Structure 1
Amino acid sequence: MVKLHIKKGDEDQFLIETTVQISVEDLMKLLIPIYNGRLKVNRICSEIEMLAESGASLPPNMQGLTEEQVEELRLVDEWTEKCSPSGGYDFKRDVMGRRNGRSPSQKMKDVLLKTVKEAKEMISKKKIGEGVFVTQNTVDEALSILRGAVTIVYPMNLPPHDPIRMEFENVEDLAGTQASLEILNIEDSAIWWAGKEFQRGKNLQDYVGKNEKTKILCKLQKRGGGPPAREPVVNEDERKAMMSYYYKKQEEFKKLEKESDDEYLNSDWCDNNALKRQFQGMTDIKWKSGFR
């Protein structure tokens, strides 16, 4: 099975395993859902962290308003009591004005944050270095444990306008957000390797050969953007090591330039009286100030 190291721009994404006989169309159908799924998991994790901190989301018409404005407009959040966290809550006002401030108890908060950490680790880019493959099942499992944690803390479910519930129900509205720019569509996306775009209608083996033990680094991007930037010759750690080495050499060269040709005469091994003082026990003598 051929291994594909997937990147988007300069960022590592995930590692997958497939066959060289797969068509480019099927490869895109395999990659894009995983890529978008990882984005969804990260979005949900970010929202759950805010949920654990400041409670469920307020209705859209109440978000960003002060208490005085809410009273003046006579707005009421009918979901506050219906969607209260299990085990009680601690009131902590949301400085952004997006959530109702009913933070779950510490025990329930720990459940949410622990699950968020676990889900992030499942889809982490660190899995590439560990040689762990990410599949659609991995993404689905991460979504499943996040959904389970939210259900434990909010057995009556979250309000229908809460971003977390909307993400789980696949009705999220990302229009006008940075997140919408990150999402890729199968039809409008391309995959590049070795300066070549994989053309639909061909198979992977048309580009990488028939060796199933091949490992290649591919880049995902939107079509029509031209070839992505080539990978640097050395990685970041090697670059830092080289810079450190040359800086050290440069400092040593500067030091040598400052030293005169007869600087060595000031060294201990060039002192003609060193042996005499050693026999007289006069070495390492420290003179006190004011001594006469």
Structure 2
Amino acid sequence: MVFLHLKRGNESQFLFETSVTMPISKLNKEIVLMYNGRLKISRICSEMEGLKDHGPMFPPEIIGLTEEQVRELKLVDQYAEKVVPSDGWVYNRDPVGRRNGRQPNVKMQELLLKSINDAKEMVSKKMIDDNKSLTLKHVQNAIDILKGAVTIVYPMGLPPHDPIYMEFNNTEDLSGTQAALDVIEPSKMQLWFAGRQMLDEKLLSDYLGKNEKCKVIVKIVKHGEGAPGREPVFNEEVRKQIMLQQYRRQEELKRLEEDHDDSYLNSKWADNSNLKQQLHGIQNINFRFGSK
């Protein structure tokens, strides 16, 4: 099987295991589902942390208003008494005014937190270091874990305007948010390998050959972004080693320059005539001059 190391820009996303016989059109569909699925899980986890700390979301007309403004405008959260945690709640005001402040009790908080951590771990980028591939089943199981925990804590369900409810029902509205820029529509999904776009009408083998035992880097690109940057010749670790060796060499040359000494020129081995004297046997000759 072939391992594809998927990247978005220079950031690693996940590993995908497949075969060189897979059509690029099918590969595109599965990759975009997993890519967007991981983003959905991240959004749900973020909102569930708010749910754990401050309870369900206010209705849109109340969000961002102070308590005094709500009273003056005579606005009412009609879901406040309907949507309550199964184990009771304590008041913990939301400082940004998005949620109603009815925080679940400690036991239910722990349940929500555990499900958040389990879901994140299931689709974590650490899987790349462990050489584990991501599948659509991993993504769906992570969403099911989050949905199950919310159902236990709020058996009556969350308000229909709560982002978590909308995420679970695929009715989320991301317009005007950074999340909307991160998501890639299936029709705009492109995969690039070795500076070439992988076209839908071809097979993976048209780009990787027939070798089923290889691991390559494939870039995820949104239509209109142009060709992604090529991977560096050296990875970060190798680059650091090369720079370290270069630095040590420069320091050694600098030390030799500072310690430059010509005294060796007085040594026999540095005398150009020394070998000739040895061959003629005229070394160590003493001349005595007698007195008249």
Please tell me whether residue 80 in structure 1 is matched to residue 74 in structure 2.
no
1:225 shift after superposition: 2.3
Matched with 1:54 is 54
Give matches, 1:94-105, under 5 Å. 94-105=94-105
Structure 1 distance, partners of 2:35, 2:131, is 18
Give matches, 1:139-158, under 5 Å. 139-158=139-158
Task: List gaps (5 residues or longer) in structure 2.
Answer: 263-292
Q: Decide which moves more: 226-235 or 112-121.
A: 226-235
Structure 2 distance, partners of 1:51, 1:248, is 54
CA deviations over 1:26-65 (Å, ceiling 9, x no partner): 1111111111111101110111111111111101110000
> % of aligned pairs identical?
53
Structure 2 distance, partners of 1:40, 1:141, is 13
Structure 2 distance, partners of 1:256, 1:63, is 71
CA deviations over 1:153-189 (Å, ceiling 9, x no partner): 1111111100001000100000111101111122211
Structure 1 distance, partners of 2:5, 2:125, is 10
Structure 2 distance, partners of 1:65, 1:249, is 64
Return the TM-score normalized by structure 2: 0.84
Please tell me whether residue 122 in structure 1 is matched to residue 122 in structure 2.
yes
Structure 2 distance, partners of 1:72, 1:20, is 65
CA distance 1:240–1:54, change in 2 (3 Å): farther
Structure 2 distance, partners of 1:16, 1:2, is 8
Matched with 1:281 is none
Matched with 2:36 is 36
What code does the residue aligned with 2:97 have? G
Matched with 2:17 is 17
Give matches, 1:156-195, under 5 Å. 156-195=156-195
CA distance 1:60–1:209, change in 2 (3 Å): same
CA distance 1:74–1:259, change in 2 (3 Å): farther
Task: List gaps (5 residues or longer) in structure 1.
Answer: 263-292
| Aligned-CA RMSD value | 1.9
1:259 shift after superposition: 6.6
Matched with 1:267 is none
CA distance 1:244–1:91, change in 2 (3 Å): farther
1:247 shift after superposition: 4.7
Matched with 1:273 is none
CA deviations over 1:69-110 (Å, ceiling 9, x no partner): 101100010111111112111211111110011111111111
Give matches, 1:202-281, under 5 Å. 202-247=202-247
SS at match of 1:62: coil
CA distance 1:259–1:211, change in 2 (3 Å): closer
SS at match of 1:65: coil
Matched with 2:112 is 112
Return the TM-score normalized by structure 1: 0.84
Structure 2 distance, partners of 1:233, 1:154, is 52
SS at match of 2:221: strand
SS at match of 2:186: coil
Aligned residues: 262
1:226 shift after superposition: 2.1
CA deviations over 1:203-242 (Å, ceiling 9, x no partner): 1111111111122110011123221001122223333444
Structure 2 distance, partners of 1:241, 1:96, is 47
